[in-house]
Amino acid sequence: MPAFDLQRVDLPTGVSLDVAVAGDPANPAIILLHGFPESHRTWRHQIPALARDHFILAPDQRGFARSSKPTAVSDYTPDKMVGDLIALADHFGIAKFTLVGHDWGGAIAWMAALNRPDRIGRLIIVNAPHPFIFQKTMFDDPAQREASQYIRAFRNPDFEQHIEKIGLPAFFDTSFLRHTDFEKVEAEKAAYLDEWSQPGAMSAMLNWYRASSIIVPEMDETPARPAFLNAPFPPIKQPTLVIWGVEDKALLPSQLDGLEELVPDLTLVKVDAGHFVPWEAPEAVTEAIRRWLA
């Protein structure tokens, strides 16, 4: 028996999402947001444990798996996903909730916490950089700039042709596996390939990168510094737990530098794992979340 129901939810934002639903709706709500290139299955280890005393929603975000895949790049600006998030909470009658995000889901969670503090009571971030720090390190940390050059590749309009040429299994082996342990994901390969092979899925997933306003300069480039980096940045108002896999090769330790100044009520838990820490070290992540929520 699966630990959740997978429900199809039509939202007034114009998309339909597959949503993993678990737990008693009378309990406090937690919404879990996955990142690239995943789905609600990012949280397969956390959902049963959290659902013991919380109501859990874990959507396949727009563009991923079998959820709707609008075709325009502009359909994937972060405000669209924040709109989906709030509409999803409204659909289930949830006024205020704890928001959890990993990778791109964490980017949406940071933005939602900043813009909708009326709806988000607590924030949990798992290996997702704060937007101010991430943009700053694109200019001030050459190592992070180098580690982020893949974003420039993903934004290339010909990247889908490259994937089509080499095939999805090769993309899995040559790109995805660079950031994790094959033994921990080998059994999941078929599920990933199934989700990625849905019509329009690969372009939709890559459009998250193309629609982002984050500037990723080339290594030898010196573009104008964004003005907001020299101005005060609004703090996160919610109590916030940041869980960080310290072996992350895409997001370097500089992503934690100065975080406490932007997140006054911060709890930081470091885990000996890589970028995909929710399933690379599931017990540590679940324990950290449950202990902090308690």
Q: What is the pLDDT of residues 131-189, one digit of tens each?
A: 999 999 999 999 999 999 999 999 999 999 999 999 999 999 888 777 787 777 888 99
> Nearest 5°: phi and psi at 65?
50, -120
pLDDT of residue 1: 47
Number of helices (H), then strands (E), in the chain: 14, 8
Other CB atoms within a 10 A radius of the CB of residue 221 amount to 9
Residue that has been written with the tokens 């895409």 in this structure: 250
Residue 89: which pLDDT band, with cuts at 50, 70 and 90?
very high
Whole-model pTM over 0.95: yes
CA dist 58 and 134 (Å) reads: 25
CA dist 180 and 271 (Å) reads: 14
CA dist 72 and 51 (Å) reads: 36
pLDDT for residue 125 is more than 50: yes
Render pLDDT for 196-239 as a digit per residue (tens, 0 to 9).
Answer: 999 999 999 999 999 999 999 999 999 899 999 999 999 999 99
Could you tell me where the beta strands, DSSP code E, fall in the chain? 5-10, 16-22, 29-33, 55-59, 97-102, 120-126, 240-245, 266-271
Residue 2: which pLDDT band, with cuts at 50, 70 and 90?
low
pLDDT of residue 257: 97
* Mean pLDDT computed over every residue of the chain: 96
Render pLDDT for 232-291 as a digit per residue (tens, 0 to 9).
Answer: 999 999 999 999 999 999 999 999 999 999 999 999 999 999 999 999 999 999 999 999
pLDDT for residue 194 is more than 60: yes
Render pLDDT for 105-114 as a digit per residue (tens, 0 to 9).
Answer: 999 999 999 9
pLDDT for residue 97 is more than 70: yes
CA dist 211 and 73 (Å) reads: 6
Render pLDDT for 38-60 as a digit per residue (tens, 0 to 9).
Answer: 999 999 999 999 999 999 999 99
